Amino acid sequence: MKTKALNQKAMLANINGLSKGDRAYCGPYGTVTCTESAREAKNGVRRFKVSGSEKLRNGGNWTLANLRKAIAG
């Protein structure tokens, strides 16, 4: 279980480091792409899209908080 928690922590760190247009492959959670930076967003929230995921809903309009909750389970 500790290894799984470390992997989730690493994936979240990779996602948190993304800038607009950057992608991170997150294993069973698919490829996460940053689609909107905090500066561009009206409310200062970055947006992401997920593709090729086995565990998450594929598509756009994910926030970092929603991704954290979904990955942490």
pTM for this entry = 0.87
Secondary structure (3-state) at 73 = coil
Mean pLDDT of 37-57: 91
Residue 17 has pLDDT above 50, yes or no: yes
Residue 5 has pLDDT above 70, yes or no: no
Q: What amino acid is encoded at 47 in this protein? A: R
Strand partners, 33: 23, 49
3-state helix, strand, coil in the chain (%, to 5): 35, 25, 35
Residue 32 domain boundaries: 2-72
What value does the mean pLDDT of the chain take? 89
The domain tally of the chain equals 1
Count the helices and strands in the chain (H runs, E runs): 2, 4
